[in-house]
Amino acid sequence: MAKYENKMLDIIEALHKSGLLKNCIISGSWAMFFYKEIFEGFIPPIATTDFDIFLPNVSKIKEGNINKLLIGLDYVRDDDNLTGKTKYYSKDGFEIEFLTIPDRTMNNVIKIHSIGIGAEALPKMKVAEWNYVTVKYNGYDVNVPSPASYCLQKLLINKERSEVKKAKDIDAVRYILGYVLASSKYSAEFIESFNSAPRKWKKEIRETIKTNGLDSLIEL
């Protein structure tokens, strides 16, 4: 994944130049890359070319040139004709996607006119916003879900994933939970965030934990 780390840095730089970096949270599997800045000895279990950019507060986003910057990095833009969802693809298979949470319209895709992007609106992305951390990377301040929030969000959405992605996510959660539960700060945050979740979400998280044998690590 070394070459993709360079591509990730290019994206971070583009986000910084566009003014989006401070208003976004790097989510999905690439968030784990930054946990090595939090936990000593952490080795990011990244095995994906998908790069998710979460924009939790669309109203804060001002006009920017992220489209021009990504195209300048040789990404090809694709807008779904039916949904309006925007994705960017590189020639070697790297994929960039923008995510947000639903607004009062409850549309599946929200058009962010200030940057000309169609972001997929996913209610369960809200978990990534509950607690996020800012880490220093190559001189940039990068926001990522806290390790506790990352685990909770992956547990919450697991049954909605493909079989292959389900297994990969559970392996990642099991690995990260080892570090979370060894930390008084993040273990307390994990429990506190779970307790504040909607009842339906708590049930789904518990079911995923039990189904995958994670109850040997933590009881909720």
Q: What is the DSSP string of 139-166?
A: TEEEEEE-HHHHHHHHHHHGGGS-HHHH
Q: Could you tell me which residues are beta bridge partners of residue 25?
A: 54
List, for residues 45-104, the tens digit of each pLDDT value.
876 889 999 999 988 898 889 999 999 999 999 999 999 999 999 998 899 999 999 988
Burial of 84 (0-12, 13-18, 19+ CB in 10 A): middle
The H-assigned helical ranges of 88-214 are 126-130, 147-157, 163-181, 184-196, 199-211
Q: Count up the domains in the chain and report the number.
A: 2
Which of 112, 145, 178 is a domain's end point?
145
Mean pLDDT of the chain: 93
Residue 133: in which H helix or E strand, if any? strand 132-137
CATH of the domain at 121: 3.30.460
CA distances from residue 163 to 39, 95, 190 in whole angstroms, order as listed: 29, 20, 25
List, for residues 140-150, the tens digit of each pLDDT value.
999 999 999 99
**140 and 70 inside one domain:** yes
Domain that holds residue 152: 146-220
